Structure 1
Amino acid sequence: MQTVTLKNTNIILFLIIIMLFSSVSMIAANTAFMVTDGIYQGVTVGDIPVGGLSVIQAQAKIAAIVEERIVKSPVIILVYHEQKWIISAQDIDLNIEADKLAQQAYAVGRTGNVVNRLKERYLAINQGQELPLTVQYNQDKIYDILTKIAKSVDQKPQNAMLKMTENSRIEIAPEIVGHKVDLNKTLLNIVENLNTKLTFSLSLSVDDLQPSISAYDLKDIDGLIASYITQFNPWDQNRTQNVLLAARSINGVLVRTGEIFSFNDVVGLRLPKYGYKEAPGYINGVLVPDWGGGVCQVSSTLYNAVLLADLGIEERTSHFYPPGYVPIGQDATVADNQLDFKFKNTSPYNIYIASEILGNRLVVTIFGRQVENSPEISVISTDKRVLEPNTIIQQDQNLELGREVIESEGQKGFQVTTYRIKKINGKVINKELLATDEFKPVDRVVRIGTKMPAQQSKK
């Protein structure tokens, strides 16, 4: 029994001795950590070692090294392919607060509870403690610099284009991929790097912009399949401007097989901010100035080219009164958000629309795949009828008795039925009813005076 008790006593004494040694070691270590009033060894600001220095010494060292680095080297080098742009510290008002950084370094191992302080001191001495080299800069100036750089990099994509040479051969100009700098993403990358580095090189964040038409889309197109020409008065400058803008909008448009083309979607709203002018146009049967007047000539010219190309008509509306630039019954009017002209590419191949102004002529051409033994297409109008206007008599008490004044000359109306005829070797294989249009007459209005003459007084 005595042997067991003695054994236990020895174990307890051994444990007490170990605890005493541990306490002494901890106290010694803590004392060792506290021997200096400087920054603890192992502490760095960025990659700048400041261990063992006083706050004032650390502040001077940080300021000197940073100054040397940003003066001798560009802060940021932006790269895109073979191009480089250098941004200096002065360009973005870059600076540091060396006094605050030195104070942060000094605070390592001196804040928090005893355990936390000892832990920080131990880690600094044995593993090192790196503080971020924080800098101040003008972010607005960085964004302005990026905006200027973007102007030299940004490029709109260009669609592949098709044209016919003088010897009636098709040539295809390949597409060009566009580029656009992602300003926000590039700025974010710069800011993230500035939080950890004084100088660095960075690639611009640039998005590729794919064109909507590639050379591959045009590979099956080998010739002209239909064309239609109308004429206009070039001296009417406003109307000519409208025709030109709408013609440009449909030029170079690809309609894939099975797709539906919408004139209003492609051309867009005919508004002053897009360059459209006021020009004569029919509104409720009356010819009045209207924004985009003349655009219907482009839709009507395209309509006739589409008919000759043997494509499907999805939506078409005649004018209130037949225009003079196409035969009666072969017009297609359009109006913003109201009336549209639509057709469907019913051919098994893509088609390509070309539109150009040649002098006083508007030429719309449709290119596609030439097919052997394709039918000859023509458009004819039949059952034409003239609708005579009514004459409306209006009594006018302000007009002398018996006097007549023609208020409106009126206009004749028409009714016509239009067909698309398909022939092979001169034989009709199909007669397609397109529409029966009625252009209502405009009444003739005559005012007749009913005002009695004043009686002369007797002398």
Structure 2
Amino acid sequence: MANNSLKNENEGFVMADAEESAKSKKTFSLGKFKIPAIIIASVLVVIALFFGIMHFVSAPWRSGEKPMPKLLADVGMYQGMGFRYFDGVTINGVDVGGMTKNKAKRAIADAQDDDKSAYSIKITARDKSYQLEGKDIVFSIDSSDALEQAKAYCVSIMRGETVFDYSKSAFKVDVNIDTEKMANVIADIQNQLKQAPVNATFKGVSAAGVQFEEEKDGINITLENIKKDIETFIASGQKTGEIIATNAPVSAEITVAKLKEKIQIIGTFSTTSTASAASTKNMKKAMEMCDGSVIEPGAIWSFNGCTGNSNLASGGWVPAKVISGGQFINGYGGGICQASTTIYNAALRANLTIDTRFNHTYPSTYCKVGFDATVDYPSKDLKLKNNTGYPVYIQCIMDGRQLKVNIYGCPDNTYDNITFESSTIKRVPGSYYDVAAYRILWKDGKVIKREQLISSRYSLKDPNASSSSSESGSGSEGSESGDPSGGESSGGDSSSIIPDPTPTPDPTPTPDPEPTPSPDDTVQQAA
């Protein structure tokens, strides 16, 4: 019994030892606490993983030059708060660390707008410039691609596929301008910078011949090029500076070479003053003021536009005979109608279009009836239109009492001669008579055009009769500048007024004849 009892007791100790041994394999004693081995093992794995990650991602900063990003916080953001960009990630210089994608997008746009005041751009084209200030710029920024690239970069770090590198953490966004919102600004830039070409034109006539002003090419600047120039400048990172606007040259149509090849005298006319010294002085002044006039293609030239108000002593005009209310009186500027008439007849021979012309109250004896041209500032003017494709130059010369006008231009080879005719078409005895004038173009001895010019109505009343309605000054209503007492004649006198003739019946109209040009009325057109 005793042996059995001892055996059982020993077996119990053996079993107890076995259990104790088994327990000793599953736990560790720490004072009164026992920790399972599996927990200890897990902790060791986590610690090892932590130091491994720290070692891996901190490699770029081990030199101590840059601080390590708060990676653990970023890990937390991934796991518990959704995606956030790592600290140190920048887009267009904006640190988006800790931001969601939407917040980062807003931050980029806000930063660009906040920085607008720093922009001041000078846009130039030749000698013109436009100052574009930040307040006028409306930005258009699409940061979607850059945000996605930055996100992919952060994710690759989390996956251990790359390490954080500041040189690779800065992303760029193309900054454009909102063309629609800046349409008015861009159009204004274009209007201020574009330059139309300037054709070569006449400069004057000297002993060396006709002088010309050189042509100048223009420049064309498109709206699209303005937009691209501004965007390229902004994308470069600059905020102040100068842009040379992209442009294309626009050639002038008329060059000096073309003018020299084509230009010659196309019309000339002369008259002689037999008027008073005062009238002759006014003629000379008017001729000098009209000399050198250039009429561009399609443009209209004005005699009054050259002389200004010829009724004023302050303008240098002196009193001489004028017609006012059908009477001869003294008025400032008297005599200048001989200058306007000389220019008018030269223009007719140059085949220019006559836009505006008035006749005198009484016909002038220094030109054929129906071919005079009176002026009276501002109501009556002589206006000529350049109907050619080239500039026309008016040269006015007064040598002593001789008035001569040469008109330079490009010859019209559709005709080779010009003749002129005038005839009375209506007569009211004791009152007036009407005169029709014609310009006739010839080619190879045949009439190719018969043009009726502006008709004239002349008074048959005695200019020496008294009239209470007479007023001094060539600008009064119904008055006409001129000096019919010699100023309107070449060798005649003030009595050279057509008398009231015996009435004759109007002739029966006949087809236009083709007369042989007479030397006095013919202008030879250069081929």
TM-score if structure 2 supplies the norm length? 0.39
| Structure with larger Rg | 2
TM-score if structure 1 supplies the norm length? 0.45
